[in-house]
Structure 1
């Protein structure tokens, strides 16, 4: 693995975090996984990037448990990248974007689509370079290898669980809904952008 691939992987990893920050700023809902993170952040009064890092670290720990031949240096690298990932979300969302005002609903929809495309490109490129991995997808791969169910089954199951938990927390805590039209836009658009960026 050469230094160019490593630096590009880190760049696109953080680009994905920036895209997520834009979708949060749009305030029309977010993707299924991020809807849980954003709702839990509001419920716990922690920053959304901090929650995102924490939840991803839990999945990373599960991957380590399931991995029959773990390479510790890879897991340490992924853990470090996750801290940078969450910090980038916090930096963009709480420090850089608050002063950025979108005057209309249509503008917010366009901002969300822009953020989704940026996040998708970042994610797709990271997957293409195969240096850094996303813990949830890796966790689903391990489960699929050990059971009769497919990767898609487990990945969609996690999405549904995240949406359910986000809705439950929203109603219990009387919090703004994060499962909205943005969630549907992300469902329709994100995977296509990721697939194209991987080519």
Structure 2
């Protein structure tokens, strides 16, 4: 019974994280490193950003399945369902809810971004606390760290840098909207402490 309750809460906080990410997108002052790639690919491909986010996470999830020495298919199925809801929630807020209002003040955009980052961080931290749902990128980095001499932090930052590099390459090559901006820096400084606070 307790496990079911915690799983329900995990799904709720997973969706809360999606809500926070959507707020950072609405602020339009740049986004986190991974989301900068998602947003750039979404503009380049004309596929909704929530769908792109889910697809990239699915790729990491498949990689985790291949690296997992003791894979539990039930857990991966649950994660797949969570990712579908995650991507759908981002699409819902980004394309149907948040277009109903506009922000003209740069200060308000910054405040909205900070709020979104805090909400996303709380959602992520709580999901990590319950340990029932995983975030594919973090799990992928953990598996790699277990099998090599490099640390989890090394792989996680490497993915961040890779995402930023690809986002910038696509942006300047195809003249897309620049997603690596001040919001990327704010997210880099703020997100991890909020996740740690919510997790403890």
TM-score band w.r.t. shorter chain: over 0.9
Deviations 1:144-194 (A, max 9, x none): 000000000000000000000000010111001000000000000000000
Q: Report deviation, 1:196.
A: 0.1
- What is the RMSD of the two structures over their aligned residues, measured on CA atoms? 0.6
SS at match of 1:69: coil
Q: Report deviation, 1:103.
A: 2.3
Q: Structure 1-normalised TM-score?
A: 0.99
Partner of 1:146: 147
| 1:79-94 superposed matches below 5 A | 79-94=80-95
Quote the Cα distance in structure 2 between the aligned partners of 1:42 and 1:29: 14
Partner of 1:25: 26
SS at match of 1:192: helix
Deviations 1:109-132 (A, max 9, x none): 000000000000000000000000
Deviations 1:22-63 (A, max 9, x none): 000000000000000000000000000000000000000000
Quote the Cα distance in structure 1 between the aligned partners of 2:66 and 2:3: 28
Size of the aligned set, in residue pairs, is 199
Structure 2: stretches of 5+ with no match in the other structure: none
Quote the Cα distance in structure 1 between the aligned partners of 2:4 and 2:149: 38
SS at match of 1:76: helix
Structure 1: stretches of 5+ with no match in the other structure: none
Matched, 1:36 2:37: yes
| 1:1-199 superposed matches below 5 A | 2-199=3-200
Q: Structure 2-normalised TM-score?
A: 0.99
Quote the Cα distance in structure 2 between the aligned partners of 1:172 and 1:99: 32
SS at match of 2:95: helix
Q: Report deviation, 1:99.
A: 1.3
